[in-house]
Amino acid sequence: MEEIYEIISNKIRESGYEPEVDGREIYDEICDNIEGRENGSYIFMTKPFDDTVFEYNVQIFDEDFNLSTITITKGDKIYKVNFDD
């Protein structure tokens, strides 16, 4: 699992988003949001800071999920992270 957390953190950093992020926290947050949901595509949004919104595009399957993209809006800047590349 550590590898997945690191991939999430690294991809976000590569997008140009400078504040430190914890891939484990993001993964856990997604897991909390998808718990009990039916299979399908979802968009989840969180606002971890006053000027920052994280938007997660997730597909849920029977036994797992796919995090396709994260779009981070911080003030007037937008950072796009594509995990399907």
Question: pLDDT per residue over 12-28, tens digit each?
Answer: 999 999 999 999 999 99
What confidence score (pLDDT) does residue 49 get? 87
User: Alpha-carbon distance 29 to 67, whole Å?
Assistant: 12
Cα separations (Å) of 15 from 10, 22, 27, 33, 38?
Answer: 9, 15, 18, 24, 30
pLDDT, tens digit (0-9, with 9 covering 90-100), for 25-74: 999 999 999 999 999 999 999 999 889 999 999 999 999 999 999 999 99
Q: How many whole angstroms separate alpha carbon 82 and alpha carbon 12?
A: 9
> Distance (Å, rounded) from C-alpha 12 to C-alpha 48?
15
For the cut 90, the answer to whether the pLDDT of residue 85 exceeds it is no
Are 67 and 57 in contact by the 8 Å Cβ rule? The answer is: yes
